[in-house]
């Protein structure tokens, strides 16, 4: 009998010991998204503001305090580091683990400019919740509008094409039904001198833009030369995808863009790969403190091939055009066009920001281009800024990005929905 009681006693102690062990966390990186971070310097997406204590509740910024408030929330010592909104890449093509790669570099939201609508729909619900995630949020065009055998038809995705202005309404409705957040259109002027795939006509372009606007959708136009950009803006494009380097932007085009409120996503880093192909070596490969994962390195090191030989002044045209647009007040959005040659998800938004700075944009304006400007252009609510009521998507940096934008290459921490996520 004593032996039975002894066994029961031992079992009781054994069970009690297990009860005292910590419960395994199904997501080890995930902790409560309720806390106070501070003191921190803040660039709020528009301007630098004085040192604050940032209160986060349920994955959203609840308040910005002048001093540490009396609160039961966990206090995270900000050590006077810098905080910016999570970056927004205004031009990507995402599939596979692209959203994981981008988030690890401080890019908390991406705008996909052409891809499988199923991928877009798969990740749509994440945009509305404040749960722990390894993925950046995605908004996108889904399928673009292009001509038979036009740009976009060569990637293995079935794209219904346009061969008549009468199809405009139907094509726009198809995109909306498949989950498109805006309408992306590919256009090249018929008389363009550079080699290009077949394009829709100017009449067809105008019809699609009108159909998009009739359905309260932005019409974003892919161009690659000055005259095609001129046609697109005249036709009512809300934004231009890519800049151009065949000539410096004309006063006529700038005036039209000013009058229409047209924005531009220059994707200068892709063009840099065609025209110069030096920035990645200067900024990424020569920096021993960076660990660039194999998949990223493989796309960064891809080239456009020996056939892409351009006059040296084209690179200067690219820089001057972006600089003139910025000086004229044209909204500039930072987009990488990853994972095209010379780019990689996440990394290349930072190199794009450095290219914008080379074009003459001050650091504060560059950060706006990668945060608040894009959020405003695409009506991405609760993103791109640091203020009460928005998502707690932000990047913590060890020093001021206003002094050196390259600090974004080595973020101290990345926070998504109020949770700290792993950086690579």
Q: Is the pLDDT of residue 411 over 60?
A: yes
Mean pLDDT of 146-151: 96
CATH 3.20.20.140 fits 86-379, yes or no: yes
Q: Is 162 a residue whose pLDDT tops 70?
A: yes
Q: What are the percentages of helix, strand and coil residues in the chain, rounded to 5?
A: 35, 20, 45
Residue whose structure tokens are 């419960």: 23
pLDDT tens across 254-290, in order?
A: 999 999 999 999 999 999 999 999 999 999 999 999 9
CA of 274: how far to CAs of 270, 304, 331, in Å? 7, 6, 24
- Split at pLDDT 50, 70, 90, the class of 305 is confident
Contact 222, 186 (CB under 8 A): yes
Distances (CA, A) of 204 to 195, 225, 321, 354: 21, 18, 27, 36
What integer pLDDT is reported at residue 196 of this predicted model? 83
Whether the per-residue pLDDT at 16 is higher than 90: the answer is: no
Please compute the mean of the pLDDT values over residues 188-202 and round it to a whole number. 91
What are 189's two structure tokens?
């002027």
Quick one: what percent of the chain has pLDDT higher than 70?
A: 92
The span from the CA of 172 to the CA of 167, in Å, is: 9
Say if residue 21's pLDDT is above 80: no
CB-based contact 213:219 (threshold 8 Å) = yes
Paired residues of 41 in beta bridges: 82
Predicted confidence (pLDDT) at residue 79 exceeds the cutoff of 70: yes
Residue showing tokens 């908390």: 108
Closest CA to 264 of 180, 369, 177, 359: 369
Domain ranges of the chain: 86-379
- DSSP lists the bridge partners of residue 394 as 85, 415
Choose among 101, 135, 94: nearest CA to 115.
94
The proportion of the chain whose per-residue pLDDT surpasses 90, expressed as a percent, equals 88
Lowest mean pLDDT among 108-112, 204-208, 299-303: 299-303
The closest alpha carbon to 91, from 423, 284, 369, belongs to 369
User: How high is the pLDDT of residue 306?
Assistant: 58
The C-alpha atoms of residue 109 and residue 251 are separated, in whole angstroms, by 33
Over the stretch 28-74, which tens digit does the pLDDT of each residue have? 344 689 999 999 999 999 999 999 999 999 999 999 999 999 999 99
81 pLDDT higher than 60: yes
Residue 269 structure tokens: 């880093």
CB distance 196 to 160 below 8 Å: no
* pLDDT at res. 194: 79
Cα–Cα distance, 257 to 34 (Å, whole number): 43
């Amino acid at each position: 009998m004593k032996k039975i009681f002894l066994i029961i006693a031992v079992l009781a102690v054994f069970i009690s010991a297990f009860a005292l062990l910590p419960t395994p966390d199904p997501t080890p990186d995930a902790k409560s998204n309720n806390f106070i971070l501070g003191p921190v310097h803040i660039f709020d997406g528009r301007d630098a503001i004085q040192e604050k204590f940032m209160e986060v509740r349920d994955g959203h910024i609840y308040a910005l305090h002048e001093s540490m408030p009396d609160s039961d929330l966990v206090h995270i010592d900000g050590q006077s580091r810098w905080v910016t909104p999570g970056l927004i890449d205004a031009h990507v093509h995402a599939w596979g683990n692209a959203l994981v790669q981008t988030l690890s570099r401080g890019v908390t939201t991406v705008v996909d400019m052409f891809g499988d609508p199923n991928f877009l729909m798969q990740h749509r619900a994440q945009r509305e919740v404040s749960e722990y995630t390894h993925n950046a949020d995605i908004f996108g065009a889904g399928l673009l509008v292009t001509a038979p055998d036009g740009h976009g038809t060569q990637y293995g995705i079935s794209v219904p094409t346009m061969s008549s202005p009468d199809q405009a309404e139907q094509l726009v409705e198809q995109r909306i039904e498949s989950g498109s957040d805006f309408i992306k259109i590919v256009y090249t002027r018929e008389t363009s001198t550079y080699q290009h795939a077949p394009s829709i006509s100017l009449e067809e372009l105008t019809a699609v833009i009108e159909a998009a606007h009739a359905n309260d959708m932005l019409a974003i136009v892919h161009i690659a030369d000055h005259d095609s950009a001129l046609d697109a803006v005249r036709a009512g494009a809300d934004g231009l995808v890519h800049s151009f380097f065949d000539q410096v932007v004309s006063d006529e085009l700038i005036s039209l863009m000013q009058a229409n409120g047209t924005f531009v996503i220059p994707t200068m880093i892709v063009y840099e790969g065609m025209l110069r192909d030096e920035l990645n070596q200067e900024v990424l490969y020569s920096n021993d403190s960076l660990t660039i994962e194999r998949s990223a390195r493989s796309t960064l090191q891809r080239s456009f091939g020996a056939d892409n030989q351009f006059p040296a002044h084209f690179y200067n045209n690219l820089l001057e055009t972006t600089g003139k647009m910025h000086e004229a007040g044209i909204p500039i959005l930072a987009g990488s066009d990853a994972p095209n040659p010379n780019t990689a998800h996440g990394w290349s938004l930072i190199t794009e920001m450095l290219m914008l700075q080379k074009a003459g944009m001050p650091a504060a304006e560059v950060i706006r281009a990668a945060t608040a400007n894009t959020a405003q252009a695409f009506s991405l609510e609760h993103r791109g800024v640091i203020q009460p009521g928005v998502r707690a998507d932000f990047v913590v940096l060890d020093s001021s990005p206003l002094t050196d934008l390259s600090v974004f290459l080595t973020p101290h921490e990345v926070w998504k929905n109020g949770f700290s996520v792993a950086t690579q």
